[in-house]
A and B are shown apart, each in its own frame.
Chain A
């Protein structure tokens, strides 16, 4: 092993969860580093607009700026533009590339994985057309660049996130052609009634709904996109009933289409660190096995925020704070009992609310059963490698049950995105769900020059003599990953 820097806590991901944890830990005097691949902290939720954009158009969620300022003021080392792409052979040291793509090795006595979520797209004929994107990307463009994704936009997929995105687009003067929701959440019903126990959160959703109603944005429920057509870019979208995807019910003229079925935890790094994952029965997603305070099956690794299970920004922040307090308690810090209870109580309340909203929308595992019927054999399933749904179905007869074998036989998931885009769909079409592609080095494509520099550092490591590096860098690590120690993984209240 080569030289590395050492901190008390290294936090991967500077979104609501990571920032909440960082702020509390640094306030207690721990040496904390936050790594984030984006040029600004905040994550997707508190995405910071470019300074020129903020000057002209104001800020997107100004509370995000205040949180980032508080984190910096607490003495947290914030390293933006730093991509964590792997874990060294010791199973602990994070392999990072800095903004100039130089290698950095960083080790924390504790590692907090707050890597957030991926969107959950599902393909349809025409999804490769320019102008077809995801709701998250449209939101990103609106928040960071004050730029509309199109002039006439259809949003489709499932989940509450479609509503704020539609509102963001309306605020930019976009003609929102409609929202197609695969489920039927927006009907008064017994399950919806439970949400009144959390009027604040309900108000937020109701507020979006009211704005959309005022703008007369059509809302089609039990409806999915079955194809997109166009030449140089998408010009029309065909919709059908979720239950009868072969019979088109409506064609909508658009110049942009955003389709997403919610989010799934970004668990690659947690898995690479050796944290056990389980299949969430409701979502079918690989979700880290965690204690109530976010501790993984590896005693020194916590997973918080959306990476621990999708729940939204307030839950993410509560999880971040809970993990921070757990670390402080283990470090012998005096944490007032009242402070310990607060995030736990808030977390429980929010988790209850999340269960209610989850119940409104079709569960991802259900979508995985429903959506493949919308996808004809000729449709492209993996865009990177141009693999069709038919090819995946054909090999799935032999490789059934092993999503990795399906990938090997078809190349689906072997391209630059490494299955982040198509993974859910491949496993749904091959009926391997629930399953995920194995987490592989590097988590993102890494320049060969970065590796060369690591080799050089290795060759000249005797010339550098950092105080912390020599201690742990003396011996070549044994091949085995440290055994997970600590609490029993199963059962006791996973964060999701």
Chain B
């Protein structure tokens, strides 16, 4: 048995970034990861940095997220992302080259104007271009684009680099990373918690459950019932393309995000459902979503037609029933903190800083009073999955 100040469960982007912040504060941090670090949601995500309001429902999404509530959080995360590479002294292929959210129908164009009000209220600069102006700014856009919101702060970071960079920083500052150590028990121990992972036992006053789509399973080990709605979504990569697509392209009304990564491949996503979610194995990408997502990509960016699809993959998305993030201490379980939910990649630096301050007993950098886990503990008999 060992003791620590903080046990972090899950070495995804949230666990890695939180470990980095807490280790820098001098805490003895142990990170327990069920498999290889950063291989699930954080390793399969698109890597978009969403700064303009996200107002799209992914195909099959039951409820819309509260975009107006999101924008101040996005603004705060955006500011933190700006310094990530300097701060970690590592390249994560961070690119703030801006993004377009396109609209094709009059109703979608109206939505661009609706969301601009929230953006401006949050201090996020965006500009709405008509179709021709959008095509002048990004000539690859197709003829069906009727308008587009331009946000210069949208961007990309390579998720396969971000998590390792945060982990390396955490380890440099004394954190211990234990991969391939699935947690099998979380129990109260005096004033703290005893976390069991195989033969390993760690006792600490603070446990941070950042297990992504397994967040509720870890909480259940501690006797906490949380309602989570994990799904699996899929991504597509084309072969490397010489065509330069400098900006992130999204759709206001349909599931689409397209960008070109540093290696030259185009990544096409948009939250299309995978063939199945398999929390105990590997989720599979499906053909219907692949065909639908690529057809949409070609409609908005016709040059995609000339490429070959190289690879499709699926990953879990740690969604909550209300599609909003969850972060905070679990009521009645002092020292047990959770963080997760949608858009965790964009929010990672913000949630890491928030967790750091919560552990320090300080005021969080943004208002999270309505994002706590208590809302996922209500109406359990009906909502239990």
Contact with A along B37-71 (1 / 0, CB 8 A): 11100010000000000000000000000000000
Q: Which of A89, A401, A446 contacts B286 (CB 8 A)?
A: A89
Q: A398-B179, A401-B180, A404-B39 are in contact. Are A445 and B309 (CB under 8 A)?
A: yes
B contact residues around A480 at 8 Å (CB) = 276
Interface: B290 (CB within 8 A): yes
Contact between B295 and A385 (Cβ–Cβ < 8 Å)? no
Contact with B along A390-401 (1 / 0, CB 8 A): 000001001111
Interface: A440 (CB within 8 A): yes
A contact residues around B292 at 8 Å (CB) = 455
A contact residues around B179 at 8 Å (CB) = 398-400
B contact residues around A56 at 8 Å (CB) = none
Q: A86-B287, A408-B38, A451-B291 are in contact. Are A418 and B311 (CB under 8 A)?
A: yes
Q: A398-B36, A401-B36 are in contact. Are A441 and B263 (CB under 8 A)?
A: no
Nearest CB in chain B: distance from A100 CB, A: 15
Contact between B310 and A445 (Cβ–Cβ < 8 Å)? yes
Contact between A448 and B304 (Cβ–Cβ < 8 Å)? yes
Contact between B39 and A398 (Cβ–Cβ < 8 Å)? no
Complex: chain A residue closest to B277, CB-CB:
A479
Nearest CB in chain A: distance from B324 CB, A: 26
Q: Which stretch (A149-157, A233-241, A363-371, A409-417) binds chain B?
A: A409-417
Complex: chain B residue closest to A101, CB-CB:
B308
CA distance A86 to B309 in the complex (A): 12
Contact between B291 and A455 (Cβ–Cβ < 8 Å)? yes
Interface: A88 (CB within 8 A): yes
Contact between A89 and B287 (Cβ–Cβ < 8 Å)? yes
Query: Of residues B39, B43, B164, B287, which shows the largest number of chain A Cβ atoms within 10 Å of its Cβ?
Result: B287
Q: A405-B39, A418-B310, A479-B276 are in contact. Are A445 and B239 (CB under 8 A)?
A: yes
Interface: A454 (CB within 8 A): yes
Interface: A438 (CB within 8 A): yes
Interface: A487 (CB within 8 A): no
CA distance A447 to B294 in the complex (A): 11
Contact between B36 and A399 (Cβ–Cβ < 8 Å)? yes
Interface: A452 (CB within 8 A): yes
Complex: chain B residue closest to A411, CB-CB:
B263
Contact with B along A404-431 (1 / 0, CB 8 A): 1100110100101010000000000000
Interface: B298 (CB within 8 A): yes
Interface: B384 (CB within 8 A): no
Query: Of residues A411, A448, A452, A455, which shows the largest number of chain B Cβ atoms within 10 Å of its Cβ?
Result: A448
Nearest CB in chain A: distance from B18 CB, A: 18
CA distance A448 to B164 in the complex (A): 32
A contact residues around B305 at 8 Å (CB) = 448-449, 452
Q: Which of A400, A416, A441, A451 contacts B285 (CB 8 A)?
A: A441
Interface: B160 (CB within 8 A): yes
Complex: chain B residue closest to A402, CB-CB:
B36
Interface: B313 (CB within 8 A): yes
CA distance A359 to B285 in the complex (A): 40
CA distance A180 to B88 in the complex (A): 48
A contact residues around B295 at 8 Å (CB) = 451-452, 455
Nearest CB in chain B: distance from A267 CB, A: 16
Q: A89-B275, A455-B292 are in contact. Are A414 and B37 (CB under 8 A)?
A: no
Complex: chain B residue closest to A399, CB-CB:
B36
Q: Which of B160, B180, B284, B309 contacts A446 (CB 8 A)?
A: B309
Query: Of residues B37, B284, B313, which shows the largest number of chain A Cβ atoms within 10 Å of its Cβ?
Result: B284
CA distance A225 to B261 in the complex (A): 36
CA distance A95 to B179 in the complex (A): 37
Interface: B307 (CB within 8 A): yes
Q: Which of A95, A399, A446, A479 contacts B308 (CB 8 A)?
A: A446
Q: Which of A385, A408, A416, A442 contacts B39 (CB 8 A)?
A: A408
Contact between B288 and A408 (Cβ–Cβ < 8 Å)? no
Nearest CB in chain A: distance from B266 CB, A: 10
A contact residues around B306 at 8 Å (CB) = 448
Nearest CB in chain A: distance from B190 CB, A: 33
Interface: A458 (CB within 8 A): yes
CA distance A134 to B152 in the complex (A): 49
A contact residues around B304 at 8 Å (CB) = 448
CA distance A480 to B312 in the complex (A): 18
B contact residues around A441 at 8 Å (CB) = 285, 287, 290, 311-312
Interface: B383 (CB within 8 A): no
Contact between A451 and B39 (Cβ–Cβ < 8 Å)? no
Interface: B225 (CB within 8 A): no
Contact between B291 and A454 (Cβ–Cβ < 8 Å)? yes
Contact with A along B141-165 (1 / 0, CB 8 A): 0000000000000000000100010
Complex: chain A residue closest to B164, CB-CB:
A409
Interface: B200 (CB within 8 A): no
CA distance A425 to B1 in the complex (A): 38
Complex: chain A residue closest to B39, CB-CB:
A405
Interface: B177 (CB within 8 A): yes
Interface: B223 (CB within 8 A): no
Q: Which of A88, A385, A398, A440 contacts B311 (CB 8 A)?
A: A440
Q: A448-B308, A451-B309 are in contact. Are A89 and B288 (CB under 8 A)?
A: yes
Interface: B282 (CB within 8 A): yes
CA distance A411 to B93 in the complex (A): 14
Contact between B290 and A451 (Cβ–Cβ < 8 Å)? yes
Nearest CB in chain B: distance from A187 CB, A: 43
Complex: chain A residue closest to B168, CB-CB:
A398
Interface residues in B332-354 by Cβ distance below 8 A to A read none
CA distance A66 to B38 in the complex (A): 54
Contact with A along B195-218 (1 / 0, CB 8 A): 000000000000000000000000
Q: Which of B282, B284, B291, B309 contacts A458 (CB 8 A)?
A: B291
Interface: B35 (CB within 8 A): yes
Interface residues in B222-279 by Cβ distance below 8 A to A read 238-239, 263, 275-276
Contact between A95 and B310 (Cβ–Cβ < 8 Å)? no
Q: A409-B164, A447-B308, A451-B294 are in contact. Are A440 and B313 (CB under 8 A)?
A: yes
Nearest CB in chain A: distance from B179 CB, A: 6
B contact residues around A440 at 8 Å (CB) = 285, 311-313
Complex: chain B residue closest to A1, CB-CB:
B288
Nearest CB in chain B: distance from A12 CB, A: 17
B contact residues around A399 at 8 Å (CB) = 36-37, 179
Q: A441-B285, A448-B305, A452-B295 are in contact. Are A402 and B310 (CB under 8 A)?
A: no
CA distance A105 to B130 in the complex (A): 41
Can you list 14 A-B contacts with CB-CB less than 8 angstroms, sorted by A residue number?
A89-B287, A385-B263, A398-B167, A399-B37, A408-B36, A408-B38, A408-B39, A411-B263, A438-B282, A440-B285, A440-B311, A448-B238, A448-B294, A448-B307
Other than the given A405-B38, A440-B311, 17 more pairs (CB < 8 A) read A89-B287, A95-B287, A398-B164, A399-B36, A401-B180, A408-B39, A440-B285, A441-B287, A441-B311, A447-B309, A448-B305, A449-B305, A451-B291, A454-B287, A454-B291, A455-B294, A481-B275
Residues of A at the B interface (CB closer than 8 Å) are: 1, 86-89, 95, 385, 395, 398-402, 404-405, 408-409, 411, 414, 416, 418, 438, 440-442, 445-449, 451-452, 454-455, 458, 479-481
Shortest 4 CB-CB contacts between residues of A and residues of B: A405-B36, A402-B36, A445-B308, A455-B295
Residues of B at the A interface (CB closer than 8 Å) are: 35-39, 43, 160, 164, 167, 177, 179-180, 238-239, 263, 275-276, 282, 284-288, 290-292, 294-295, 298, 304-313
